[in-house]
Amino acid sequence: MAAYDDRDGFIWMDGKLVEWRGAQVHVLTHALHYASAVFEGERCYNGRIFKSTEHSERLLKSGQLLDMPIPYTAAQIDAAKVEVLKANGLTDAYVRAIAFRGAGDEMGVASLGNPVRLAIACWTWGAYYGDAKMKGAKLDISKWKRPSPETIPCEAKAAGLYMICTMSKHAAMAKGCSDAMMFDYRGYVAEATGANIFFVKDGEVHTPAPDCILNGITRQTVIGMLRDMQIKVHERQIEASELEGFEQCWLTGTAAEVTPVGQIGTWTFEVGDLTRRVATEYEKLVRA
């Protein structure tokens, strides 16, 4: 596949469709220097973006949290996503919206004078963890910890929060793992570098409370599904010492969908019935 900046197609940028290779920014774009950017990852299935408006609303909220109000409404963002999918002739695709402080009067840390820009791209993207969907992903344990909400607005899906994710994922890949699980600043289980995490024990489900992790839209969907199935879900602080006793584990995320986990560090998990059931039900739901 060609590099991401060298493909045919169209990208929606600041209110209009532009030719893919022409969707460029200047090197003195504020976001490039200070991570003043927020984004969304979404999936379109059979011509319908799953939870499109929830993603648009989260993007707007992330912008507010970073003090960079995005100059579009959720309805306008929803419509732009439809427009870009149509322009590229895609019905099953990943959709990436990114809002960022552009180039302008300011090149220091402050950026109030620089415009907040919005771009939306889409492309075909298969399983995020390759064949892990069948056999269970192998996860490393990151040396980086998810930061405290007093350190950074962790509710935002903000570019700056991904610096430690990229480093964690690189270290994991060097060890032959698909991803890394991160603990939080207190030492509790947090999430993977781009997905939330769930565990099963004695027929009940345990997942970290979203107090310093991204409260994923897939996470919330899966919790709803489990409760509809009359399965007890505990959203709570999970200690490292508990990993030994969990029987099953899976990740959730727009890109990851529901991916079983077979191993985290030296802890192992079976790809069990509940994991498979949740993965199948999620597949059905997004295409319903």
Ligand X SMILES: Cc1ncc(COP(=O)(O)O)c(C=O)c1O
Q: Which of 223, 218, 240, 249 is nearest to 137 (CA)?
A: 249
CB of 123 vs ligand X, minimal distance in Å = 16
102 vs 153, beta carbon nearer ligand X: 153
CA angle 21, 128, 76 (to 5 degrees): 55
CB of 197 vs ligand X, minimal distance in Å = 9
200 vs 217, beta carbon nearer ligand X: 217
CB of 72 vs ligand X, minimal distance in Å = 20
Token pair belonging to 228: 């509809």
Question: Which residues are bridge partners to 96 per DSSP?
Answer: 41, 121
Let me know if 157 is a catalytic residue.
yes
CB of 41 vs ligand X, minimal distance in Å = 5
Query: Which one of 81, 133, 157, 169 is the catalytic residue?
Result: 157
For every residue of 221-244, DSSP letters joined together read HHHHHHHHTT--EEEE---GGGGG
d(CA 94, CA 68): 25
Given 36, 178, 254, 275, the residue binding ligand X (CB under 6 A): 254
What does each C-alpha distance from 156 to 94, 153, 175 come to in angstroms?
20, 6, 30
CA angle 46, 16, 76 (to 5 degrees): 60
Q: Draw the binding track, 60-99, toward ligand X (x: CB under 6 A; -: no contact).
A: ----------------------------------------
112 vs 173, beta carbon nearer ligand X: 173
Region of 66-74, 99-107, 148-156, 249-257 interacting with ligand X (CB under 6 A): 249-257
Kind of pairing between the strands at 233-236 and 204-208: parallel
CB of 167 vs ligand X, minimal distance in Å = 13
Residues in the chain: 288
Contacts of 32 (CB under 8 A, 6+ apart): 25
107 vs 152, beta carbon nearer ligand X: 152
Q: Draw the binding track, 186-225, toward ligand X (x: CB under 6 A; -: no contact).
A: -----x--xxx-----------------x-xxxx------
153 binds ligand X (CB under 6 A): no
CB of 82 vs ligand X, minimal distance in Å = 19
Given 17, 20, 31, 41, the residue binding ligand X (CB under 6 A): 41
What does each C-alpha distance from 82 to 11, 74, 87, 93, 230 come to in angstroms?
12, 13, 9, 11, 35
- Site residues (vs ligand X, CB under 6 A): 41, 191, 194-196, 214, 216-219, 252-254
Please list the active-site residues.
Answer: 157
